[in-house]
Structure 1
C-alpha cells in the first residue's frame, strides 16, 4: 500500500542529515559518470554476493564512501561491495544515520553502454535494519540525462543533476493511474509456476508494454514515469531471488510506496520484511497497487 508517513519519524532531527546525504550523492554523481569509460573491465575480486567486481564498482564505492564521511549526522556506511559496515562518524562512535548504498546498480550494463544507477538508503537504526527504519531513500539514474529521485516524508521528487548540484524538475511524483509498462528479471525457465501465471495475466492486457533493461534503476524509473510493475522474483533455483534487501529492496520499495504504489516480497510489503543479514536477498515486486494486489493473490 502507499506510504504516507515517510517511514521512521523524521522529526527527531534527521532532516538536515537526510538532505546533506542526498546532496553528497549528487555531488559525486558527475565524477562517477565521468570515470566509467575507462573502468569497464572485470577484476579478480568478488563482492560479498559472489559477483565479480568491475573497476567501476569499486571506483564508485570509494567516491561514495568519501562523500558520506563528510556528512554530519551519518554515522555508518555499508555497500554491496563491502563485507562489513564502516564507521564514518568523526567521533568514532558510529552515531547517526546508517547509509546503505549500491554504488553502481546494473554495472553489467557498462560493457554494452546501457543504463546504470546509484541507490541510497538512509536508516535510523544499525544495519541490517528494517524498511520501517528508513528516513529517506534516493537513486541516481545515469541515462542520457543524469537525474536523481529522492523520497522522504511520503513525498518523491525528481531532479536533474548538473555539475554536482540538483535542479528540481518534478515534485510530488506519483505513479500514473493507468499503468502501461512491465519488466521481469530472471530466466523464464527458472520462474515458478505461480509467477509465470501472473506474467500471463499481465501480458494479456494489450496496453502493457515490456520494458526491461538489465539495470533495476532504469526499469524502476520506467514504472515511476508510466506506471506499471517491476519484479525480480523468487526463482526455482533461488527462492530469495537476486536483489539485496538493505541496498535495493528496501529503498526501492520505500520510493515506490512514497509515490503512491505498493511493494511486496510476494506476501508483505518489502518494508515489513525482517532484516537478518547485511547482504540478505529478497524477491522484489513493486508497482501500481492493483498489479501488486494481483501478484500476491496469484502467488498465494
Structure 2
C-alpha cells in the first residue's frame, strides 16, 4: 500500500496530476504508432476475463514504465494486471491502456483512460483528484479534468495544444449511445432507450472514450446498462466508470450506476464492474427508478 500525500499539499497535487497527463501526451504518438502490427490476440486473458490483444500488453508495459517513474506516483494499476505495481509513495493511478481494443479488428476508434486517486486502491471515485482520456482518432486528442474544470487538447508531436478550456456539456443534448444488445436490456431501460430515440441521434462506436467524447461535444447520454448476461454491469469501476464520471461532473454533467452517483459506488475490489449512465444531468435524472 502506498503512503499518500498530505491533503494540504495542493501545489504538489497539481504538479503530479499535470505531469501524469504530460507523460501520457508525450507517449500518445508512440502508442498510436505501436498499434500497427499488434492487432492480433495474445496468449491469455486480463483479470476481468477479456481476451488480450498484443497491443493491450504493449500499451500497458509502456505506460507502466513511464507513469510508474513519476515522482509522487505511489501505485500503478491496470486493467491488464491482477494487482497494482508498488511505485513508492504518492498518488495511485488506474489505467485502461487501450480502451476499446476489440475495435482494432475492424480498425475503429480506441483510446487510453487514466484516473488519479489520493488513496490506496481500490478506492471510491470521491478519492479522485484528476482524470482524463486520450482518443486515437484522425487526430490525437486528450480530455483532462482536475477539480471542477475540464479541458480538451490536441496532441501534436507529444505536446498538448489547447482546443477548449473550462467547457461544459451543451444545454441542448443531441446524441445517445447505448452498449450491449437491446435484447438483454432490462424492460425499464428499454423504455428509456425508446424515449431517447425519439429526441436524440444515435452515435455509438464501441469504445467508451469515443462514445463519451461524442456526449461531451454535442451533449446527450451514454449508457452501458445491466444486462441479462452481466447483472453486475460490464465496465470497470476503477479503470473506466470513475474517471469518466469525474470528467462528466467537471463538465457540468452527471454519472450514475442507476441507483446513485458512480463516484459514491463502494470500491470493494480492484476489478469490480458496474453499470454506467453518463451525460447531461437532466437526462441522468430521468433514468427510471426500477433499473
1:241 shift after superposition: 1.1
The corresponding residue for 2:47 is: 48
Does 2:139 correspond to 1:145?
A: yes
Does 2:152 correspond to 1:158?
A: yes
Does 2:54 correspond to 1:69?
A: no
1:261 shift after superposition: 0.3
- For 1:120 and 1:204, locate their aligned partners in 2 and report how far apart those are by CA, in whole Å: 34
Q: Counterparts of 1:121-270 in structure 2 under 5 Å?
A: 121-205=115-199, 208-270=200-262
Segments of 4+ moved more than 2 angstroms = 8-13, 297-300
The corresponding residue for 2:290 is: 299
Two-structure CA RMSD over aligned residues (Å): 1.3
1:110 shift after superposition: 0.8
Query: Residue 106 of structure 2: SS of its match in structure 1?
Result: coil
- For 1:69 and 1:106, locate their aligned partners in 2 and report how far apart those are by CA, in whole Å: 23
Determine if contact 2:258/2:289 at 8 Å carries over to the other structure. no
Query: Residue 190 of structure 2: SS of its match in structure 1?
Result: helix
| Counterpart pick for 1:105 among 83, 99, 105 | 99
The corresponding residue for 1:34 is: 33
1:210 shift after superposition: 0.3
1:13 shift after superposition: 3.0
Determine if contact 1:48/1:83 at 8 Å carries over to the other structure. yes
**Normalization by structure 2: what TM-score?**
0.95
Determine if contact 2:259/2:289 at 8 Å carries over to the other structure. no
1:37 shift after superposition: 1.1
**Normalization by structure 1: what TM-score?**
0.93
What 5-or-longer segments of structure 2 have no aligned partner? 1-6
1:10 shift after superposition: 7.2
1:70 shift after superposition: 2.2
Determine if contact 2:95/2:239 at 8 Å carries over to the other structure. yes
Q: Which has the higher contact order (CA 8 A, sep 6+)?
A: 1
- For 1:45 and 1:239, locate their aligned partners in 2 and report how far apart those are by CA, in whole Å: 24
Equivalenced residue count is 285
